[in-house]
Amino acid sequence: MSRPLVVDSVAALRAQIRDWRHDGLRVAMVPTMGALHDGHISLVKIALDRAERCVVSIFVNPTQFAPTEDLDKYPRQLARDVDRLGMARADLAFTPTVGEMYPSGFATRISVGGPSAGLEADFRPTFFDGVATVVAKLLLQATPDCAIFGEKDYQQLCVVRQLCRDLDLPVEIIGAPTIRDAHGLAMSSRNAYLDETELRIARQFNVILRDTAAALAAGAGQSHATEEASRALIAAGFQKVDYVEARESLTLAPWHRNGEGRLLAAAWLGKTRLIDNVEIPST
Ligand code: PAF
């Protein structure tokens, strides 16, 4: 098993990337918060199909967590993550400290409009500013040719695309399909919080979303179909549904029947908040 180079300073990251560029190599980046699972590893594979070198950042970004959220509890397992990256043949793990990313006196926040409105933002109002700020920093630190983001966090992917377009960041953003377990549950670091019973319930999430997307494609009214989906999630054992909404795939504007659509949802199982999304099949 090869072992990725592990660096925790921006200076060391830039020095290595400068060497690769000098040798004419393309660089791809996979930004993560660690606790790597098969979903992340699929992003590394896509990165290595697109570039000769793959950088994976592992940084639990405090600015995207609200004070009430799970920042302290968020799983951290660096040694295991580095082993997994070695097996996946990633070249470099960038593992900055909070002080390296946000040195004392740091005072900038990036606020993206457009696709960041509604959905997650209604429940996590500071989340996308935190994501946009850290992603802009990571992309400027590493200056990769391309960066890979999972469709699992679909609204985040749309926000990152908007950020790069609006700020002319010279990086291609690649969206990668969600990796699911044998029951269709989307891989997520937060699945680690679920006990056996919750896991069984969580596996109904994608089934209910797929059924609802199929009903929408077949002509069901939007509010009726999404209310039915919320009811079905509660009946399956979820305690609370934050939203189930159909949106236009690229802009996340409200969905109109003849445009490409995405059904997005967030729901609570105990203390764990799960999100998922599926394409609305075109008719
Ligand atoms: O999706 C994540 O893991 C994070 O939101 C990201 C993009 C690494 C920014 O911290």
Distance CA 75, CA 192 (A): 8
* CATH number of 204's domain: 3.30.1300.10
Q: Which atom of ligand 1 is nearest to the CA of 57?
A: 8
Average pLDDT, integer, range 76-98: 98
For residues 154 and 241, membership in a common domain is answered with no
Q: What values do phi and psi take at 237, rounded to 5?
A: 125, -5
Active-site annotation holds for 40? yes
Phi-psi region of 226 (alpha: psi -120 to 50; beta: other; left: phi over 0): alpha
Q: How many domains does the chain have?
A: 2
Which has the closest alpha carbon to 210: 262, 151, 155, 259?
Answer: 262
Residue 183 lies in a domain: no
Same domain (yes/no): 112, 151: yes
Query: Are residue 34 and residue 108 in the same domain, yes or no?
Result: yes
Residue 54 alpha carbon to ligand 1 centre in Å: 17
| Co-location of 131 and 237 in the same domain | no
pLDDT band at 283 (very low <50, low <70, confident <90, very high): confident
Alpha carbon separation from 79 to 35, 84, 100 (Å, rounded): 10, 9, 20
Q: Going by CA atoms, what residue is nearest to atom 6 of ligand 1?
A: 32
CB-based pocket (< 6 A), ligand 1: 31-33, 61, 64, 131, 134-135, 153, 156
Check whether residue 258 and residue 136 sit in a common domain. Answer: no
3-class secondary-structure state, position 268: strand
Question: What Å distances lie between residue 275 and 80, 96, 192, 224, CA to CA?
Answer: 25, 27, 14, 21
Q: What is the CATH number of the domain that holds 163?
A: 3.40.50.620
Digit-coded pLDDT (tens) for 50-66: 999 999 999 999 999 99
* Same domain, yes or no: 170 and 194: no
Q: Are residues 223 and 253 in the same domain?
A: yes
pLDDT tens digits for range 188-241: 999 999 999 999 999 999 999 999 999 999 999 999 999 999 999 999 999 999
Last residue of a domain, one of 123, 142, 176: 176
Q: Is residue 184 part of a domain?
A: no
Express each pLDDT in 114-161 by its tens digit: 999 999 999 999 999 999 999 999 999 999 999 999 999 999 999 999
Residues 40, 183, 224, 256: which is the catalytic one? 40
Query: What is d(CA 3, CA 5) in angstroms, rounded to the nearest whole number?
Result: 7
- 107 plus 196 within the same structural domain: no
| Together in a domain, 157 and 33 | yes
The answer as to whether 198 is a domain residue is yes
Domain that holds residue 251: 189-280
Name the β-bridge partners of 277: 264
**Separation between Cα atoms, residue 198 and residue 220, nearest integer Å:** 30
